[in-house]
């Protein structure tokens, strides 16, 4: 068996086309969705990511602006900017790009956001709504992207055993909640594994779906996967590669070449989950704009 490759870029393009139609409807009614990105410092990966988001916004007709602050910016200055953006009607969504320099308390920055403008879904109000099964707020982008990949490839997790490797607030924990919700496209039995899990392979071999979000290259090997399982690889790891001009390449948390000979479906790295994260950020931005156009409050 050779797994079918899940083309995240193609699925992301489908979602962007759907978002573009919603943007057009908003603009026709006099509302242009707006996204503000707050970038502190000069981390190359963050700059690349924010640039990609800005380009995607431009393509879809979303107004975006990046507020690029020096690496020496103080926490009070960042919080002051967030406060201004919370009340700036040009912006329906605000993205504090992480990571930030060590003098900045990232959690405090997230907590200071207006939860209606929290495009990453990390504010306590939005995470709390997620835990309660209320999905009208912003849903964390990467977990929501994983859910879309499963849905759009016909891999309904209902009644299946899903093993999520990773327990971060960004991916692992919110994804486990989404998968276990009593809702269409969910209803899975979920096991969360992490660095404290003993005999990881014993758990992954029992899974119908394995989601790797550990941040360690090639952690999942072929002998750790049940034949016919679905493997979603969230990991993006840079490893040395002397054959590449830049001296490195990106790999996932799964040993792709080996695991694809056992799995039924698998996401590549790059080109799998990555494009979905930006697509779902656009979805959250438009949802926030639609909510603002309707009066600004969360639905009852």
What are the pLDDT tens digits along the chain (300 aa)? 799 999 999 999 999 999 999 999 999 999 999 999 999 999 888 998 899 999 999 999 999 999 999 999 999 999 999 999 999 999 999 999 999 999 999 999 999 999 999 999 999 999 999 999 999 889 999 999 999 999 999 999 999 999 999 999 999 999 999 999 999 999 999 999 999 999 999 999 999 999 999 999 999 999 999 999 999 999 988 888 788 878 888 899 999 999 999 999 999 999 999 999 999 999 999 999 999 999 865 543
Q: CATH 3.40.50.10860 spans which residues of the chain? A: 29-115
Mean pLDDT of the chain: 95
**Which residue's structure tokens are 């912003």?**
138
Question: Do residues 164 and 179 make contact, with C-beta atoms less than 8 angstroms apart?
Answer: yes
The CATH-assigned architecture of domain 141-274 is 3-Layer(aba) Sandwich (3.40)
Helix/strand/coil for 54:
helix
Return the active site residues: 53, 97, 120
Q: Which of 167, 259, 255, 169 is nearest to 207 (CA)?
A: 259
First to last CA, the chain: 48
**What are the pLDDT digits (tens) for 160-188?**
999 999 999 999 999 999 999 999 999 99
Which region, left, alpha or beta, applies to residue 38 given φ > 0 means left and ψ of -120 to 50 means alpha?
beta
Tens-digit pLDDT profile for residues 9-62: 999 999 999 999 999 999 999 999 999 999 999 988 899 889 999 999 999 999
Q: What angle do CA 19, 62, 150 make, to 5 degrees?
A: 30
The CATH label, of 3.40.50.10860, 1.10.3720.10, 3.40.50.1000, 3.40.50.300, for the domain at 29-115 is 3.40.50.10860
Q: In what order do the strands lie in the sheet with 93-96?
A: 63-69, 34-40, 93-96
Ranges for all domains in the chain classified under CATH 3.40.50.720: 141-274
């Amino acid at each position: 068996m050779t797994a079918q490759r899940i083309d995240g870029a193609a699925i992301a393009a489908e979602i962007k086309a759907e978002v573009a139609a919603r943007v057009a409807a908003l603009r026709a009614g006099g509302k242009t969705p707006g996204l503000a990105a707050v970038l502190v410092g000069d981390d190359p990966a963050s700059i690349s990511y924010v640039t990609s988001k800005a380009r995607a916004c431009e393509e879809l007709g979303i107004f975006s602006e990046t507020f690029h602050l020096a690496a020496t910016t103080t926490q009070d200055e960042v919080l002051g900017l967030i406060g201004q953006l919370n009340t700036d009607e040009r912006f329906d969504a605000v993205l504090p790009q992480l990571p930030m320099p060590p003098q900045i308390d990232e959690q405090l920055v997230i907590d200071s956001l207006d939860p209606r403008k929290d495009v990453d879904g990390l504010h306590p109000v939005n995470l709390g709504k997620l835990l309660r099964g209320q999905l009208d707020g912003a849903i964390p982008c990467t977990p929501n992207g994983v859910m879309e990949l499963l849905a759009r490839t016909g891999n309904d997790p209902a009644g299946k055993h899903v093993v999520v490797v990773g327990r971060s607030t960004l991916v692992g924990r919110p994804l486990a909640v989404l998968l276990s919700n009593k809702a269409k496209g969910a209803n899975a039995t979920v096991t969360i594994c992490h660095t404290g899990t003993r005999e990881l392979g014993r758990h992954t071999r029992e899974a119908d779906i394995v989601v790797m979000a550990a941040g360690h290259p090639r952690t999942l090997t072929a002998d750790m996967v049940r034949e016919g399982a679905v493997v979603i690889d969230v990991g993006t790891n840079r490893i040395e590669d002397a054959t590449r001009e830049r001296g490195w390449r990106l790999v996932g948390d799964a040993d792709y070449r080996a695991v694809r000979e056992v799995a039924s479906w698998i996401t590549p790295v790059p080109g799998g989950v990555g494009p979905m994260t930006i697509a779902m950020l656009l979805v959250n931005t438009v949802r926030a704009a639609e909510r603002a156009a309707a009066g600004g409050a969360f639905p009852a």
